[in-house]
């Protein structure tokens, strides 16, 4: 069965600190896709990144970076030099191949960045 676990319910940091959000997934498929979405206080869900299971290269986008490790079934998200605007709930999600793009979401991690 597929499952996504985000063990950190809430994280609070001070501005400019680095913070890592953990994501562990379970799937029996060999082909799958991992995603991160951001939900700011305004409520919409904003797509951040998609990673295919056959591509373990880490990715960096500005202050954001993602570490994908199949050996530990993890897809962690790091924000460097956090800012107040990063305050949001972050969701990790899994989509298995041939499932039409259905997303299985983790419970989310609420990040609070204080000035």
Partner 1 sequence: DAGVIQSPRHEVTEMGQEVTLRCKPISGHNSLFWYRQTMMRGLELLIYFNNNVPIDDSGMPEDRFSAKMPNASFSTLKIQPSEPRDSAVYFCASRREAYVADMNTEAFFGQGTRLTVV
Q: Please give the full DSSP string across 87-104, using - where no structure is assigned.
A: -EEEEEEEEETTSTT--E
| Using rule CB under 8 A, residue 52 touches partner 1 | yes
| Using rule CB under 8 A, residue 57 touches partner 1 | no
- Please report where in the chains the tokens 């709930």 appear, as a residue: 89
| Using rule CB under 8 A, residue 25 touches partner 1 | no
| Using rule CB under 8 A, residue 44 touches partner 1 | yes
Q: With the CA atoms of 62, 49, 8 and 64 taken in that order, what torsion angle do they form, in degrees rounded to the nearest 10?
A: 0
Q: How far is the CB of 88 from partner 1 (least distance, A)?
A: 14
- Nearer to partner 1 by Cβ, of 100 and 115: the residue is 100
Of residues 54, 62, 85, 115, which one binds partner 1 by CB under 8 A?
54
Tokens representing 104 are 């299985």
Q: CA 42 to CA 40: how far, in whole Å?
A: 5
Which parts of this chain interact with partner 1 (CB under 8 A)? Answer: 31, 33, 35, 37, 42-47, 50, 52, 54, 91, 95, 97, 100-103, 105-108
């Amino acid at each position: 069965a597929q499952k996504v676990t985000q063990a950190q319910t809430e994280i609070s940091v001070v501005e400019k600190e680095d913070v890592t959000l953990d994501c562990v997934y379970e799937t029996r498929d060999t082909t799958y896709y991992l995603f991160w979405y951001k939900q700011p206080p305004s409520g919409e869900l904003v797509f951040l990144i998609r990673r295919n299971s056959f591509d373990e290269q880490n990715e960096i986008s500005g202050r954001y970076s993602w570490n994908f490790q199949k050996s530990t079934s993890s897809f962690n998200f790091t924000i460097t030099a956090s800012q107040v605007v990063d305050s949001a709930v972050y969701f990790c999600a899994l989509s298995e191949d041939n499932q039409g793009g259905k997303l299985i979401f983790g419970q989310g991690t609420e990040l609070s960045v204080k000035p």
